[in-house]
Amino acid sequence: MKQFGMVVVVVLSAMAGRWVVQNVVFAPPSFDAQLVKVCSEFNKNLPMEVDQITRLDTTAPGPGKRITYFYTLHSIDESDITEEKKALMEQGVRQQVAQAADLKSFRDNHVAMSYIYRLTDGREVFKFTIEN
C-alpha cells in the first residue's frame, strides 16, 4: 500500500510539474508585457518627424493596457494652438486610430491610447485618451 501511495505522489508531482512548465515557464507573455516590448521596439526609431510642426518623441507602456505617445509641437507659437485646432487634431487622430489596420490589435484588446502634446520647452499643451 505504501508503494501505491508513493506512485500516486510521484504521478501527481509529475503532473503538477508539467502544468508549471506549460503554464508558467512557457506561457505566452501577458499583453502588458507585449506592450512593453512594442514600445521598446518602436522607441528605437524615435524621435520621428510626423509633419512640419509635430515630432513623436517617445512612447511609454502602461499602466495596464495603455500606451502613451509623447509629441513635441515645434515651429509654432503657443498662441496659435487654439481650442479649435486642438479639437481638429484630436478628431484626426481618433479617425486614424479607428481606421488604421496596424492598430487593430490594440482596438481588439481594448488598449487605451493616450496622446500628450508638449512645446519645445517641455510644457504640456494638451492631451487626450482614446479608450478602446
Structure confidence by residue, pLDDT tens digits, 59-69: 999 999 999 99
93 located within any domain: yes
pLDDT digits (tens, 9 = 90+) for 83-113: 999 999 999 999 999 999 989 988 998 999 9
Residue 1 domain flag? no
Is residue 81 pLDDT above 80, yes or no? yes
**Which CATH number covers residue 111?**
3.30.300.250
**Which uninterrupted H or E stretch holds 43?**
helix 31-43
Element (H, E) at 37: helix 31-43
Supply 37's cell numbers: 516590448
Find out whether the peptide bond into 63 is cis, omega within 30 degrees of 0. yes
Mapped onto helix, strand or coil, the DSSP state of residue 106 is helix
Query: Has residue 80 been placed in a domain?
Result: yes
Q: Say what the pTM is.
A: 0.77
Distance CA 69, CA 57 (A): 8
Domain that holds residue 124: 31-130
Considering its fold, how many domains does the chain have in total? 1
